[in-house]
Amino acid sequence: MTDTIIALQNVSKWYNPAFQVLKDCTLAVPKGEVVVVCGPSGSGKSTLIKCINALESFREGEITVDGVRLHEKGVNLPKLRARVGMVFQHFELFPHLSVLDNLDLAQIKVLGRGKQEARTKSEALLHRVELSEHANKFPGQLSGGQQQRVAIARALAMDPVVMLFDEPTSALDPEMVSEVLDVMVKLAHEGMTMMVVTHEMGFARKVAHRVVFMDRGEIVVDAPKDAFFGDVGNERAKLFLSKILQH
């Protein structure tokens, strides 16, 4: 197998004590691949993606991220998380810091970059998400779409080996969805390894290599994009697709 960035082996998780949110999930994301994870709400998609940078714990199974084995004791979590970019549904920019300071903070405090070096990197990334003119504004002065693009830039500033997206467009007004997806598409074309929880099937069609369908904590389908959108061959996935593709 070529470089595997993320490997999940029989991962299970319970919310104490009886409710199982993840059931025996196995999944591998090779370097450079874009994997879209979809499924009905409550199916465990977000929980799964948050296990990958240990924002959520899991009880059984193994998760390996870029060679770091999360299931073993004594893992340096901050060090791991610094290499895994994460974009949240509600952006989660730091409201008391300017856009530039949002991008600088972890570069300086976690990676130990100098102020000037961090700033140069931040400015380049803001240019890339086309927000240079907003560099000195505060998050509260930006639209949702702009905030999410800043959040993507903030994650990229850490030079991550993989980017995780947790429903990055779900909290956006419809007219702002495309500006965020455009940034993500560009990123995918540049070869970034990405795992994206989303209902945006258009995005999946355009850039995904594989689509994973989850239902009730299980990975029900894990198929190449064309197979998934051609004939998925699974009733639950078919039903789900027919519902979200209707309009």
Nearer to other proteins, 146 or 241 (CB): 146
Separation between Cα atoms, residue 35 and residue 210, nearest integer Å: 5
Omega into 174 within 30° of 0, i.e. cis?
no
CA pair distance 177, 46, nearest whole angstrom: 19
CA dist 16 → 11, 21, 199 (Å)? 16, 10, 28
Tokens coding 100: 């530039």
Parallel, antiparallel or unpaired: strands 19-30 and 34-38? unpaired
By C-alpha distance, which of 157, 149, 143, 111 is closest to 130? 149
Shortest Å, Cβ 206 to other proteins: 26
**Which residues touch 108 (CB under 8 Å, ≥6 apart)?**
114, 115, 118
> CA triplet 109, 75, 161: central angle to 5 degrees?
60
22, 29, 156, 158: which one binds other proteins (CB under 8 A): 158
Shortest Å, Cβ 11 to other proteins? 19
> Binding string, 49-88, against other proteins, x = CB under 8 A?
-x--x-x---------------------xxxxxxxx-x-x
Q: How far is the CB of 72 from other proteins (least distance, A)?
A: 19
For other proteins, the closer of residues 172 and 211 by Cβ is 172
In whole angstroms, give the CA distance from residue 108 to residue 232.
46
Residue 17 binds to other proteins (criterion: CB under 8 A): no
| Residue 10: half-sphere exposure toward Cβ, Cα within 13 Å | 2
Q: Phi-psi bin for 241: left (phi > 0), alpha (psi -120 to 50), beta?
A: alpha
User: Binding mask 93-132 vs other proteins (x if CB under 8 A, - otherwise)?
Assistant: xxxx--------xx--xxx---------------------
Beta carbon nearer to other proteins, 166 or 179: 166
Q: Using CB under 8 A, which residues numbered 171 to 230 contact other proteins?
A: none
Query: Contacting other proteins (CB under 8 A), which of 139, 144, 145, 168?
Result: 139
x/- binding map, residues 32-51, to other proteins, per CB under 8 A? ------------------x-
Q: Which one, 52 or 207, has the nearer CB to other proteins?
A: 52
Query: Which residue, 153 or 223, is less far from other proteins as judged by CB?
Result: 153
Cβ proximity to other proteins, 14 vs 138, nearer residue? 138
Kindly give the pairing relationship between strand 60-65 and strand 68-69: antiparallel
Nearer to other proteins, 39 or 160 (CB): 160
Q: What's the CA gap between 163 and 134, in Å, rounded?
A: 24
Contact residues for other proteins (CB under 8 A)? 50, 53, 55, 77-84, 86, 88-90, 92-96, 105-106, 109-111, 137-142, 154-155, 158
